[in-house]
Chains A and B, each alone.
Chain A
């Protein structure tokens, strides 16, 4: 009987240990999703969707491709020689973009990395950390009319210009409309009829 009890204990503990090892991958995958969502900024209102492969949108790969911004599969922001998109590697993008005006760091209260806000002359990039220690782009915000979306919309334009260019397939909030294409979001915010902000938003965090 004693032997049977010992066998039960050993069996249970082995089960736990095996489960720890065997379930680890799945559990970690779940945790990755959670951490990928952590703190694009303290003010973000994330939506729960799976993180994209961080390597998917690398600049190197971008250079090799023939760029077709307008008919592309995602919303992208071309700036000079660089093409930015949300959820791409932010460190690589920052290196390619060259000197920024300023950077602001917002560390996570949950001890899960830091988000960075890089300010350039006409736009801003906000990053979010992943568990693997990478920083991905969470937001790209266009700040003045010297830069435009790949489809040619800039801040000097109006609501009707936007709808004429992007069509009627948008989601509407109080003062904004949002277009979504393959997990990338393009958000237009208005002050009356005038455009007041253009944002590329990661579907992972917001």
Chain B
């Protein structure tokens, strides 16, 4: 039973991909980019889910997928125009399909009510048109097996003669299962019984491929069959029997009336792939023609129904083609990759230790060993980059989930919202992507719920009725920046201020800048909406979002313009594993300063240093006065400030542009360090982003530049009484 569970697991993994494909396809169509390829891809995705679900007896899923598929088929065949209304239903269907898959995965049952409404809506689309092709076929007396659209164009004349073949015809089916067919628990006997039910069947088994016993693979597939069927059913109906196995066998169906060489692309034959490509290309044109030159309805429907029937073999070929290309990727258990990442981390540490050890042993600079070590360093770095690249994932899947959140939030708040996504292909470490889902969901909900005004208000303010929420991702100086932007009313600072006063977060007299007020939103226990709405007000505030983002080493900031909207931007490290840092000494302790934060390093001149008030100093860098922070004091290593002239100044900048000059005693080195979590065995320590292991095996702390700038460099000593009582 375990292997069955494995297969099921694989199915659900594939479902995830397919659902992603489905949604992105639908979104493309919504954005007007959908061509018939997209429609076909969407159809295939639903079809594959249905197929897999059928194999596992997930009846709910199959039933819904079937209706969904049927509707998509109408769209694919251009019988149903993909109007915004239709697309909205399709998108919601894809959400429900995702829910059903999820439920099936967790062995849950979803109530009927989840699907009922949609099933009706979907059926309505199909119902309007469902009769049409049949009537048309009956009128024209055409029920043929092959579509001119599907095969090469120059065969049109051949098919032209086939128009009226109504009576029973003979098909020759060559069926050669691959081992996968059996592995997927399919049974050839059942297939043949199904065929037999359609008409008179004559089966010949070819056992010539069976090898001798010594080389026979018990799980191999050596038999093939030639089945002659005399039936009044169409080829499409024959193909339906093979629906769930068509990817796992070589299947060739020929109608005997036709000359062999003109008909059927041999699906398993590699040479037919170009032809298939051409075929699908033809499909595109055919589809368009169907729409534009639809003066003769019967004809049009005809063409379409032919196209539909041909689609199955085409889909098969495309599926197998896709299989070929997807061979280039493999699924790897995440645990294995994590192990590799850890090992590479150890390798980096080890390489640093080795280098240090060699020089400590008194090796001359310029020795050949040094060159070797340098090469090792390069290699290590390359290995590391490659390993990180394995873990990197585009944020696309994450963004797509957000489009659903927008749809749901828009429905719940009865606002009309348009989601714009940019930079979906931006790659971020998998862990980061995963841990971003919740905060991002919350931010998107907030943008729709609090950010955007109602349509009436928008129109009254001269804005388009439909609000826009944009979600963008981009690489910016070694970090990934994700922005959630709405074109709503912006932050009502008056209200935020009064609420903060009311809640005792600030006092009446506090003078706050606009950005200070905006940042109040991140205070624990702050919520601007007095009425707890359906969406927000679940006790999760922006403070939780902020903490979640900080937990992955990210930062969040707000900018807002009254009447124009607000932008929340999250900046994240590319990876949670390795960081480029400057190794510095402070009060006999070794610290690592993230390179991304450092703008420049300099030796200050006495004339650059100026006193500002009691004890505070600023440094003038090219005419700009920047506050000086003594790293030793802010880390609590010493209480007396060092003379800035004896140390080195690191000019640093935070994400939101705040600058400071951090004084350290000396700079040791600049290198990659492996990030080690302090949280794992201890907890978060203010001013410390994480820890790392140095070449000598000792731990160095990685400075959290933002945190020490926020505190203005003052040392926050630990107060015993702030400890929770223990005991």
A and B are interacting partners? no
Q: B residues near A, CB below 8 A?
A: none
Chain A positions near chain B (C-beta within 8 angstroms) = none
